[in-house]
Amino acid sequence: MPELPEVETTRRGIAPLIQGKQVTGLVVRQPRLRWEIPPLDQLVGEHVCEVSRRAKYLLIGFDTGTLIIHLGMSGSLRFLPANASPDRHDHFELQFGPHALRLRDPRRFGAVLWSEGPPLQHALIRSLGPEPLSQDFHSDYLYQQARRRRIPIKQLLMTGGVVVGVGNIYATESLFLSGIHPGRACNRVSKARLQTLVEQVKAVLARAIQQGGTTLRDFQHEDGKPGYFQQQLHVYGREGETCRKCGSTIKAKQIGQRTSAWCPGCQR
């Protein structure tokens, strides 16, 4: 599923293709995604100013506002000839002359929204926590967030108001690399270990983004799987298999309605 590295890879892929380009047409085949796609006809004739990202939201800026796109868990964007026949799950597209930027999303957990004002003030974005790769995400900050809660540390990492873009895969892997049990109450993790965790979150995301740029043929790689990152996963999706570091059998259980894997030998 698209996590932050995939969304960032997508952003880097589409930005040079649509920046400065004029929207010549727009098609909504299935408006019912996570929320109904609003009327966007006014976009035809507008030029793309910039393509940015906040959390897992792609922000396509125009003079009159910003198109907000979320890929949900099965969404992907592709840039292809406008006359290419659409797939059953190709729900939305922006046309740029002979090309189209097309959103495919089989499970329809994604979203296409419009923000007239500054997109960072949009209701879905306004109260999000810091970007994990920014300097605002540091150990003192995480400690302040952790000390006043009792939820499992893994849930804390996946709470958007605390830090964004850390989904199940990267939360699971960074906790392994930090030696912290995912079910440990967040206020019972030492400050020193939180510092390690912050470092590992950044490292694991940076590595994945880097590989998104080098290993991936291009951003149009879709298929809903971690793909390029899968071969180096230590615990995610490896329940019952052997830990690559200590040989213990990887365990898994539900934490906050999400499957969480960990190594009983490496994580406390």
Partner DNA sequence: CTAATTCCCTGGAAGC
Partner DNA sequence: TGCTTCCAGGGAATTA
Q: Which residues are catalytic?
A: 2-3, 56, 258
Backbone angles phi, psi at 254, to 5 degrees: -80, 130
Binding residues for DNA restricted to 2-61, rule: CB under 7 A: 3, 32, 34, 55-56
Helix axes 139-147, 191-214, angle to 10 degrees: 120
Residue from 118, 123, 26 nearest 64 by CA = 118
Q: How far is the CB of 162 from DNA (least distance, A)?
A: 9
253 touches DNA (CB under 7 A) = no
Q: How far is the CB of 9 from DNA (least distance, A)?
A: 16
65 touches DNA (CB under 7 A) = no
Place of tokens 């910039």: 50
Q: DSSP secondary-structure letter at 38? A: P
Find the binder of DNA among 12, 21, 29, 107 (CB under 7 A). 107
- How far apart CA 225 and CA 185 sit, in angstroms, is 30
Count CA atoms closer than 13 A to 13's CA, side-chain side.
23
Q: How far is the CB of 29 from DNA (least distance, A)?
A: 12
Count of residues near DNA by CB under 7 A: 33
Q: Is 227:211 a contact under the CB 8 Å cutoff?
A: no
Q: DSSP secondary-structure letter at 150? A: -
Find the binder of DNA among 9, 74, 76, 267 (CB under 7 A). 74
- How far apart CA 5 and CA 229 sit, in angstroms, is 10
109 touches DNA (CB under 7 A) = yes
149 touches DNA (CB under 7 A) = yes
CA distances (Å), origin 39, targets 122, 126, 191, 215: 17, 23, 48, 37
**Angle, alpha carbons 92-74-59 (nearest 5°):** 55
124 touches DNA (CB under 7 A) = yes
Q: Which stretch binds DNA (CB under 7 A): 154-162, 188-196, 200-208, 211-219?
A: 154-162
158 touches DNA (CB under 7 A) = yes
122 touches DNA (CB under 7 A) = no
184 touches DNA (CB under 7 A) = no
Binding site for DNA (CB under 7 A): 1, 3, 32, 34, 55-56, 70, 72-74, 88-89, 106-109, 124, 148-151, 155, 158, 160, 164-165, 167-169, 256-259
